[in-house]
Amino acid sequence: MPFYISPDGNDAWSGVLPAPNADGTDGPFATVAAARRAVRAVPREPAWEEPVTVYLRGGRYELAEPLVFTAEGSGQAEVSNYHSYQAHERPVVYAAYPGETPVLSGGRRISDWRVEEVRGRTAWVADLPAVAAGAWTFTQLWVNGARRARPRLPKTGEYRIATVHDANFEGTWSETVRKGSDRFGYAEGDISPAWRNLADVEVRIMTLWVSVRAKLTAVDPTARIATLDRNSKVRLTYDFSRDGAAYIVENVFEALEEPGQWYLDRPSGRLYYLPLPGEDPDTAEVIAPALPDLLRLEGSPEAPVQALRFEGITFAHTEWTPGLDEIFPTQAEPKVPGAVIARHAVSCRFTGCAFTHLGTYAVELADACRDLAITHCAMTDLGAGGVKIWHGCRRNTVADCEIGDGGILYPSAVGVVIGKASGNRIVHNHIHDLYYSGVSAGWTWGYAEGDAYGNIIEWNHIHDLGKGVLSDMGGVYLLGVQPGTRVRYNHIHHVASRTYGGWALYTDEGSSDILLEFNLCHDTSKEGFHQHYGRENVVRNNIFAFGGEAMLRYTRVEPHTGFTFTRNLVISAGIPVWLGDYGPGAHQIDCDDNLYWDVTGAPVLNQYGEETLSFADWQALGHDRHSLVADPRCADLAGRDFTLEADSPAWGLGFLPFDLAGVGPRGKA
C-alpha cells in the first residue's frame, strides 16, 4: 500500500489517500517526516513483494530542518552470496506523484512587503525579525524562480589589487603561492570606509585556481589598505607573478541602483529589493535560503542506509556559510557540502530529480558510499558544483545528467569531483558553464598511492568552462596514480582560463597509468592536452583542434616515459604543436602514427624557448617516424568553423568516432 504527501495534507491522517476525503477526516500526510515514520512502521517480515512507495504531490514543502534517513526505514540492497542465500533489492521509494512537481525547499518565503523610495528608487521593503535577532542571514535571493544579485562594485568588470601585502616571493612556487594575507592595497576610490555596514561588505578575489571570499573588517583610507576577516591562505596575485589579483566587492548598499538588485541590512533586519518591471509585491514569490542542506542519508559501517530511491523530486534553496576557522580557499572547494549528503549509503538512487537554486554542491557522497546512482537529473543555478564523490567511496554512477550554471558563490567548484575514490562512472553527462574544471578525478599530488583508480569518464559533453575567471583548469582534470582510469569519447570545447592553464585534457601532478582516447577537444585558450608530470599515460585516437597557445604541452620532463601519443589528429592554426620543456634532446614521450595539420601551412612541431623544429627535424630526432604532417583528406578542415560532416573524406581516416556535423566555435553538438 503506497503512502501520499500533499501540501493539503495532515500529519494526523493515515497518509494512504492521494487527496483529502470528502468529509476531511482522512487523506495524505503533510510532511515527509510523517511519511518516514509510517514507512518505518511497515513490517519487514515477511519479505516485501513490492517496493514501499511514498508519492509527493506537487507543491513546495518548506523544511524546518534537513530530512535525515537512517538504516531504520530504508530498504534492503540486493545481496547475492552463493554460499548462504540470495535476496533481491527491496527499495523504499520517494517519488513525485505522476505529472506533478514536488519541491523540497530549504528557503523561507518573504511577503508582507511595503513599497518605499530608497535612494531615489522604488523599492520593496520587508522587516525580518529573525535577521534582526541574529538568528538568520543569507547572501542569496530568488524572485519568481530566478536568482537576483546583490549590489556590487565595480558595476561591470573588476578591480585590481594595487599592492600585495605580506607576500613572501622567495622560495619555490609551491611555497610562495601559499603565502596568504589578511589585507591588501587598493587603488584610490575603489573602497570606502564610509560604506554602510562595512563589516557585511564581501570581497571576492580571483587568484590562480581558487577564489577568496572574505568580509572587510577595516579600511585605512590614508594608506589605502583593506583588512579582511580571514587569511586568504593563498597569495593575492593573478598567478605566480607579483601582479595583484582581480577582485570585486559585493553587498554595498551605496551601489543599490539597478532593478533586480537587493540588499539585506542585517543589523536592522530590513530587506530591500528593487523590482524588475512587471513584478508585483502582492504576487511575487520571493525566497531566501535558511538551511545548509536538505536531505541526509546517515548510515554507519554497521548499519548503512540501503536501497532508498528518490524520483522526480526538486531540491532547492540552500546556503552554507563557512566559519572563520574553515580552511579557504581550496582547489575544487571540497569543504562546501551538498544539498543532499550521503554517508555510509549503499545502492541508493536519485532519478529524474532537479537540484537548483543552491548555494552549495548539489550532491555529496562521503564516508564509504557505494553503488549509488544519480541519473537523468538536472543540476543548475549552483553556488558550487554538481556532484562530489569523496574519499572512500566506490562504484558510484553519475549518468545522463545536466550539470551547469555553477560556481556562482564558489567559482573553483567542479561539475563532478572525485577524491580518493575508485570505480566510479561519469558517463553521458552535459557539463557546462562553470568557472573551473568540468570533471576532476584524484586527490593525491605526486606518485604516492592515492586510491583513485578505475574511474570511467566517458561520453560527456563538457564546454564553456573558466570564462577567463580562474586559471589552471581542464575539461577533464586528473591527479595522481590512477591505474584503470579511462577518459574516452568526451567532447570538450571552449575552455578559457584567465592567464595560464585553459586545457581540455589535463594530467596534473603525478597522473599515471591513465588511458585518454577518442576524445574530441577544440577551442581552448591554451593547449588541447597538457601533462604537468606523470608516467605511462596513453593518449591515442583523439582529435585536438585550435588551441590558443599551442596544441600540446609537456611541462615537467622526468627520466621515464611520461606518455605515449599515437594515432591522434592534431589541427592547428599557425601555432606550435608541442610547447614546453620537451626540448630537442628529450625522449620521454613516445609519439608516432599521428596526423598533424595546420590550416595556415606546415606546422611547427616543437617550440622550446626560442628554438623551433620543423617536422623533418623532429623526425630526424627519432620522433613521429610514421606520422604525417598533412593529408589531402583533411582539406575540408581548413577553416575555423571546424565543420565536418559524417560522410566527409576525412572520415576515411578511420579513427573519428564522432558525428561532427554542426560543431563550430560555439557549437553545442
| pLDDT at site 664 | 33
Q: Which residue has the higher pLDDT, 621 or 97?
A: 97
Average pLDDT for residues 111-125, to the nearest whole number? 95
528 and 660 in a single domain? The answer is yes
248 and 124 in a single domain? The answer is no
Alpha-carbon dihedral 31, 34, 39, 40, rounded to 10 degrees: 140
pLDDT for residue 643 is more than 60: no
In-domain check, residue 22: no
pLDDT, mean over the chain: 89
Average pLDDT for residues 73-90, to the nearest whole number? 65
| pLDDT at site 614 | 72
pLDDT tens digit string along 9-30?
999 999 999 999 999 999 999 9
At 361, list the grid cell: 554542491
pLDDT tens digit string along 533-571?
999 999 999 999 999 998 999 888 888 989 999 999 998
- Least confident range of 48-52, 283-287, 298-302: 48-52
Of the three residues 288, 311, 342, the one that is the final residue of a domain is: 288
139 and 228 in a single domain? The answer is no
665 and 604 in a single domain? The answer is yes
627 and 646 in a single domain? The answer is yes
In-domain check, residue 29: no
Instruction: Give the span between the Cα atoms of 320 and 294, in whole angstroms.
Output: 11
In-domain check, residue 424: no
pTM confidence score: 0.92
Average pLDDT for residues 453-461, to the nearest whole number? 97
525 and 564 in a single domain? The answer is yes
Q: Which residue has the higher pLDDT, 629 or 334?
A: 334
Other beta carbons less than 10 A from residue 141's beta carbon: 24
Residue 48 per-residue DSSP state: P
In-domain check, residue 39: no
Q: pLDDT-derived band of residue 576, with 50, 70 and 90 as boundaries?
A: confident
501 and 592 in a single domain? The answer is yes
SS3 615: helix
| pLDDT at site 425 | 98
| pLDDT at site 387 | 98
585 and 497 in a single domain? The answer is yes
596 and 666 in a single domain? The answer is yes
Cell numbers 580571514 correspond to what residue? 230
**Listed residue (460, 421, 464) closest to 441, CA to CA:** 421
179 and 273 in a single domain? The answer is no
* Top-ranked range on mean pLDDT: pick from 117-131, 165-179, 634-648: 117-131
In-domain check, residue 337: no
274 and 204 in a single domain? The answer is no
Where in the sequence is the domain holding 242, given as residue range(s)? Answer: 159-253
- Least confident range of 27-31, 361-365, 649-653: 649-653
pLDDT tens digit string along 651-662?
233 333 333 333
In-domain check, residue 640: yes
**Listed residue (74, 225, 241, 232) closest to 173, CA to CA:** 241
Task: Please spell the DSSP secondary structure of 210-279, one letter per residue.
Answer: EEEEEEEEEEETTTTEEEESS--SS--BSSSSSSBPEEEEE--GGG--STTBEEEETTTTEEEE-PPTT-
Distances in Å between the Cα of 1 and the Cα atoms of 28, 38, 52, 146 are 13, 11, 7, 38
Average pLDDT for residues 288-316, to the nearest whole number? 97
Share of the chain above pLDDT 70, in %: 88
Q: Which residue has the higher pLDDT, 362 or 174?
A: 362
Of the three residues 253, 272, 296, the one that is the final residue of a domain is: 253
| Structural domain count, the chain | 3
In-domain check, residue 131: yes
| pLDDT at site 581 | 56
For the chain, what is the radius of gyration of the CA atoms? 27
pLDDT tens digit string along 133-161?
999 999 999 999 999 999 999 999 999 99
549 and 658 in a single domain? The answer is yes
Average pLDDT for residues 100-124, to the nearest whole number? 96
Detail the DSSP E strand segments found in 542-645: 543-547, 552-554, 563-566, 569-572, 578-580, 589-592, 595-598, 606-608, 611-613
Q: pLDDT-derived band of residue 582, with 50, 70 and 90 as boundaries?
A: low
- Least confident range of 66-75, 105-114, 247-256: 66-75
Q: pLDDT-derived band of residue 469, with 50, 70 and 90 as boundaries?
A: very high
452 sits in which H/E element: none
In-domain check, residue 185: yes
Of the three residues 201, 227, 253, the one that is the final residue of a domain is: 253
